[in-house]
Structure 1
Amino acid sequence: MTDTARPTATRVGERVAAADWDALAAELDEHGHALTGQLLAPDACREIAALYDETDRFRATIDMARYRFGSGQYRYFTHELPQTVRELREAFYPRLLPVARDWAARLGKPAPWPDSLGEWVEMCHAAGQVKPAQILLRYGPGDWNALHRDVFGDMLFPLQVVIGLDAPGVDFTGGEFLMTEQRPRAQSRGSAMALPQGHGLVFTTRDRPVASRRGWSTGPMRHGVSTVRSGRRHTLGLVFHDAA
């Protein structure tokens, strides 16, 4: 299968840029996650999902049950990303960068992220994080993903994106995207969302700033996937730091 053509990939980048990023940033502040509009047409979603069976595109396949991560399977792309995947990652980074820097400022933490994704990836590699972390996930009936964080080393970008590649309620049932937030001196708060096909969900990688009496504190968050009841669910995960 050939990669998505350049005009389609360019339109994908334009769709990312055209999103209401002020509204998305406000939602990220409030909830730690925010849903974009449609970024990929159904045909483009199916093309990316079909790449799962082209094993030479991937550096590793993870059986989640083996590692007690849940049930199901996902694969890490090599550095030779499909064109649409590469375009998406490059289009999201500059839009997420102001949010990342603002969060770091509020929490009094370093903001090491340069203006370009290429420079940031080079910094990851210099620190020993050289493995690509872009993920294509496949779930079948009974599969699920335990609550976790995608932290692969000290070099960490605080936001990431997951894109739904199948239609909930049509191609599969169940399989909601889950997030939990650990709140200070209170019970954890959870949310669940069925990802619309072709839409992206931006969410925090590890934590977000939460207003407190003393200013800003860290609100730890984790994400996962509820049990798929029927059908097959594919998602594309865009991570902006590489792995050790």
Structure 2
Amino acid sequence: MADAADYLLNSSFHFDALLADLYFEKGEDPSRDLYDGLDLIEFSVATRPEMDVYAVSAHADSYNFKRKVIERKIPVKHLFDKRDFAIAGDGSEPTADEPWNVVRLDVYKRRLARDPNLIAELDAHFGTGPEVSSLLGRVLANVSPPIVTYIETLPAPLVAKVPIEVICTPTSDGTVCASAPHLGLLVDGYGDLASEAVEQLREVIAAHATELLGEGEFTGYAAALKSHLRHHIEFSHDAD
């Protein structure tokens, strides 16, 4: 929970939405009065007022929870009841990722709303025709933003001091490109899936860090890259 609060306070990270378990209590942060998921939601509203917040709980119909939300004026956009979706996901009920699917759809709808004429044009040209391709491009540009993830572990003996932001974007040939913009690397990772691209990028980062974070002196691009790498990565003390 303390880590989540740190991420919310870090302006270098972008968040469209927060989904929190109401009674999640791991990593209490007394210094910020964070003891459960409801506290984290309230904290997120204060620090990121533009972000939508969602909650999930097995006690979604709890009068005590509803009273707290009203008293503390916490704008929970949707409360998911854990009892309404199956963990195993046998196809007969919504699966455990159902809450995230709802959140993603909400984010997509907000992005579509940035182009107020798009919905009307989609309705007018529903079906086939020369306009469909251009409309599809506009839809994809609005609702398919790059995937943002983070690399938190590296091959030993390297250790990530802070999470490394990774941007995954689709390429023209259907593959995915993963880049680490804050590191300044000129080499990206590629793969058929975002996970594969991230893994390749992890190897690229590890190779550069192993070469540059030693005792040698560098100039130009290598020196700048070393500076960025040192902010994010170090050698494990166990390797000394």
After TM superposition, the score normalised by the length of structure 1 is: 0.22
Higher alpha-carbon Rg = 2
The answer to which structure has the higher helix fraction is 2
The answer to which structure has the higher strand fraction is 1
The higher relative CO (CA closer than 8 Å, separation ≥ 6) is in 1
After TM superposition, the score normalised by the length of structure 2 is: 0.22
